[in-house]
Structure 1
Amino acid sequence: MTTPTQLQPAPVIDETARLLTEHYIFPETAEQLAGLMRQRLAEGAYDVDSAEELGRLVTTDLQSANGDKHLRLKYHPVRVPPEQGEAALAAMRRDFDTSLGGAPLVELLKGGVAVVELGPALFPLEWAAEPLGAALALASPARALIVDLRGNLGGDPDTVSFVCGHLLDARTHLNTMHWRAGDRREQYWSPAHVPGARFGGTKPLYVLTSGRTFSAAEELAYDLQQLGRAVVVGERTGGGAHPRDGWTVHPHLEASIPVGRSVNPVSGTNWEGTGVAPDIACAAADALDRAHALALARLSD
């Protein structure tokens, strides 16, 4: 019978600091945080018995500089397998299959107002194009549309662009990603053409958000809001605008490090740390009824 290996925080901190300084989108902040972690290690602040507690302490320190919610030492209760990427992909595929491809609900409400729920994620476009295209095309004849992102935790920026293509009339610049590696810039545009019918860029459009709405789902809400295309209804979102990569630094710990940052062409900034502020603030549980009432009032004008 084997016994658990005693937690050794120093190798975890050293490797996390190395990865941080090599990959974090803000190099100066990375150096500052690496120094903070090494200082805290020397002071004995990380002398704990569990990987979960170490992850919590380090995450608090990592987020102390700028509140970056994608920057963390993430604890995995089940030992991270060597094939971490394959395991994560398999889990994502299960979520995709059980959510009808990320569009679990299409409904027509009173007055010709359609609701399309997108969740629990905006899955990779090579998977999601067909089901999302079908759901959005089905809703396209509606007089007004509500896109429900209250339970959406993020996903693929290409899928954000694809969805926007159904909600706009022309190819539109949505976002520019600034990557640390190679100091690259990558622009994201809505497609000029989409499969099937599109809802278009003129009929009333509402986007529902909650405090759980995060990452790429926030981008979808933010892009449409900044373009003046949609009214965002609900709660302020989580505030994660930096795409991340993950590295295993302990059998139960993953260093989650943002490697890029979004820059919106309208605002010149993003929603990192602040979240997307709703145009109409209300509890997430009330957002659908509120948006439906707003749509009916606008259609009656």
Structure 2
Amino acid sequence: MTTIAQHVTAAPVIEATTQLLLDRYVFPETAEQLAALLGRRLAEGAYDVEDASDLARLVTADLQSLNGDLHLRLKHHAEPVPPEQGAATLARVREGFDSSLGGAPRVELLDGRVALLELAPMLFPLSWSAEPLGAALTLVAPADALILDLRDNTGGDPDTVAFVCGHLLDGRTHLNSMYWRDGDRLEQSWSPAHVPGARFGGSKPVYVLTSARTFSAAEELTYDLQQLGRAVVVGETTGGGAHPRDGWTVHPHLEATIPVGRAVNPVSGTNWEGTGVRPDVPCAAEDALDRAHALARARLAADKADEPRPATANPAQQRPS
């Protein structure tokens, strides 16, 4: 398949991206440093390319060069980008939703009454996904243990994170807080007090599978459950993106994605930005399901062994009827 080059003039793209950084980026001091860097690179001729995809690659490398923020990007789109804020990303997200059963492509009961629920390729906007996710979570609720597979989940909606957590906890719980540059405010995220359908609850074992591809809101779901002591994380360290971002069109084929907030976990007081979420049980991502299944079955067997046995009547005290 041949890629058709899309002509671009760098200067107006850099000017628009620089202004967005200064106005919107959650770290204003870093925004000023990045704006100066982009200006220098433009003056040096580093962006003297004709193809939009080449400019996106060069600018993204510079945007991420100071603090490694993986949400900070100049993103290339093969198809023309709608002019409305966030529209380019929303169109791509809708395609993923329609092709993945609403973000729950796999629900399975494994041996030992251990349920497997895969959430992928992302946690879609709750206004879309509440019905399919609620159905999937209700389906696994009677299981004795749950494996939540986030290995191929690249992010999504924090409200959907709270929705999923609501099914895995017994009551309303403070999950996360988000600092927003706009208004200089801190906004708390809580699991809902009530959920549609059956609730898996807050006592049965939960295991979360991760990979290096697990990113953004999928990391928040992992981190929230881990910090609450609600789940055992099995797999690889995640990608390390804790800054929610918005997107702005700066060229017919280019979208500047700018982080506008940062997560603050109420337990740790920090987040997973740059470090990723570290697993409790490290292993290769391809081995994580088998490892978690074995852990779940061992845990259930141990719990069963610890259950008090019913008292047995003393034969000497029994009387014939």
TM range (shorter): over 0.9
Q: Does the CA-based 8 Å contact 2:102-2:133 persist in structure 1?
A: yes
Query: Which residue in the other structure is 2:65 paired with?
Result: 64
Which region of structure 1 is more displaced relative to structure 2, 244-253 or 218-227? 244-253
Cα deviation, 1:72-115, whole Å, max 9, x if unaligned, reads 11111222233575554344333223211111111111111000
- Runs of 5+ in structure 2 lacking a partner? 303-321
Query: Which residue in the other structure is 1:122 paired with?
Result: 123
Q: Does the CA-based 8 Å contact 2:172-2:190 persist in structure 1?
A: yes
Which region of structure 1 is more displaced relative to structure 2, 91-100 or 134-143? 91-100
CA distance in 1 between partners of 2:171 and 2:280 (Å): 24
Identical columns (%): 75
Letter of the 2:271 counterpart: N
What's the CA shift for 1:6?
5.2
What's the CA shift for 1:255?
0.8
Which region of structure 1 is more displaced relative to structure 2, 260-269 or 72-81? 72-81
Larger radius of gyration: 2
Letter of the 1:200 counterpart: G
What's the CA shift for 1:266?
0.5
Query: Which residue in the other structure is 2:33 paired with?
Result: 32
Q: Answer yes or no: is 1:224 the counterpart of 2:218.
A: no
TM-score by length of 2: 0.89
Query: Which residue in the other structure is 2:188 paired with?
Result: 187
What's the CA shift for 1:186?
1.1
Instruction: Report 1:1-301 matches (<5 A).
Output: 7-82=8-83, 85-86=86-87, 88-301=89-302
What's the CA shift for 1:128?
1.2
Letter of the 2:118 counterpart: E
Which region of structure 1 is more displaced relative to structure 2, 90-99 or 127-136? 90-99
Change (3 A) 1:94 1:7: closer
Cα deviation, 1:145-175, whole Å, max 9, x if unaligned, reads 0001111111110110010011011111001
Q: Does the CA-based 8 Å contact 2:89-2:247 persist in structure 1?
A: no
SS in 2 for 1:181: coil
Letter of the 1:148 counterpart: D
Count matched residues. 298
What's the CA shift for 1:8?
1.9
What's the CA shift for 1:254?
1.0
Cα deviation, 1:210-234, whole Å, max 9, x if unaligned, reads 1111111110000000111100111
SS in 2 for 1:114: strand
What's the CA shift for 1:5?
8.1
Letter of the 1:223 counterpart: D
CA distance in 1 between partners of 2:152 and 2:109 (Å): 20
SS in 2 for 1:292: helix
What's the CA shift for 1:250?
1.5
CA distance in 2 between partners of 1:130 and 1:39 (Å): 50
CA distance in 2 between partners of 1:74 and 1:88 (Å): 10
Cα deviation, 1:100-148, whole Å, max 9, x if unaligned, reads 1111111111111000111111111122111111111111111110001
What's the CA shift for 1:20?
0.4
Letter of the 2:62 counterpart: D
- Runs of 5+ in structure 1 lacking a partner? none
CA distance in 1 between partners of 2:257 and 2:83 (Å): 16
Cα deviation, 1:200-249, whole Å, max 9, x if unaligned, reads 11111100111111111110000000111100111111111111111111
Q: CA RMSD in A?
A: 1.5
CA distance in 1 between partners of 2:132 and 2:187 (Å): 26
Change (3 A) 1:93 1:74: closer
Cα deviation, 1:9-61, whole Å, max 9, x if unaligned, reads 11111111111000000000000110011111111211122221111111111
CA distance in 1 between partners of 2:47 and 2:214 (Å): 32
Letter of the 2:282 counterpart: A
CA distance in 1 between partners of 2:280 and 2:178 (Å): 25
SS in 2 for 1:182: coil
